[in-house]
Structure 1
């Protein structure tokens, strides 16, 4: 299996200049918005506008393009791309024409929406459906846009006093006019674990996943808990397996809606599996030879985790025996 560097992790660091020092400068933000090279990415209900047959490019529009005036909030400044300033706008208030419901795979929204004022071929698409088609910079910008606009949608009211808050700092803050509290985007840390025992790794599946799909165990890190402790707790809670040594591997922002996946390697000190049916449907030890069959698509009972997910990246590194090499 070919070696895949950590910089290829979907939504990984593409070197985007987020220009945080410009967020609080209202005059500079106005200049950036008026810059001829500025572009804005519209999103509708967390779906970015894309173009291309497979959604392999983002649907950047010039500020002031027809149809953008339906945005309920000011634009969010994403940063300075090599080609110019980049912004995002939430168009969730727009009502698309009624269409026949698209089939679902239990994991993703497969429907697409076309705005009549946007260029032909542009449509809103669930990011999961096109994330592996985007280049690294586009994927990072889409993840930033989805994450920050999703945060605004979920945090319109002050957690301190309940009053409606206002967007500030070019979209990277919300201020409460009633109690003067400041609110900032939140990211939820999630531990995702490659648990090894000899020549095998531990995989599990959720009952909500597509048929035969298995992946690495994962869970949210709780307040007052280290990453290592979260790995051991989650594995024992979900599968009844005790874990000894834990080491960090690589991370991935996961804007569904606002997680940071922290991939770790853990060494199992027990092998008996006792599944918590509330958490997962099944767990099993899978050998390296079986995983090769999984990735070749010939395993009769297991399908691999989805392309673009950090679980797949880590398993591929394990199969290639490259876990001990630098990931960045």
Structure 2
């Protein structure tokens, strides 16, 4: 049990370090407002966690601080200029409803950040999908004069992407404050997979599923451009790392996790291709909760069957040993 707790803390620390790196890049592009947004999200989530645990007659522990990583993921999926009240409500909803109502930290079935995003999308969709251009820095209480659609929105509707590869790598295009830094996300994915802090199978399944369909059913005429832009838009890489590959949610075995990620990657790409739905992967990740539960149930049955087989084998060997001893 102690080993499991330590592993959980190490995973949380790894996730937080990579998220803070993305937050630093967000600050570089959008200024102090992005930092204040992150602080509000973390504060709201922490208070919601403490109050929820108290109401459930449980003792708050250091392990419950994992809610801060969910809060930071939410902040990085939002525009830096989103209303603070909306962000706070989203974090409270994530912790109270998506997490603690369904069993809390020990028995999570949804990604709290993904559920919060879908909640805000259905309630304040226009405010969620309007952004400032990179390097347009807004004060803590200022309102930006000009808002634009994300590059993902433009690409989904028109198939055009007017930024260079260098700008793509650095995240110098409009979109969620932490989900456009492609180079940092790629490095984070490699580091987290190497340290087993995310599900390797789920991540690879998501990326390969998206890539396969982007090549064989391209959004635009150029298959290579379709592949490249399909992976860097619509929060695909960000969601693949921090939502689909969340070890608290994804199946434990990489074999099942791969197909779980593959299904999410394929279905989200189809939705983007047919309906031009921005950031569809987050919505699909929430809708695929029954698939996750099905895989986990199958894993549990396999583990129980394996354990029963081992117990029967040990019992049979013991009986044979006793019979051999009596015969001698």
TM-score range, shorter chain: under 0.3
Query: Which protein has the bigger helix share?
Result: 2
Structure number with higher strand proportion: 1
TM-score, length-scaled by structure 1: 0.26
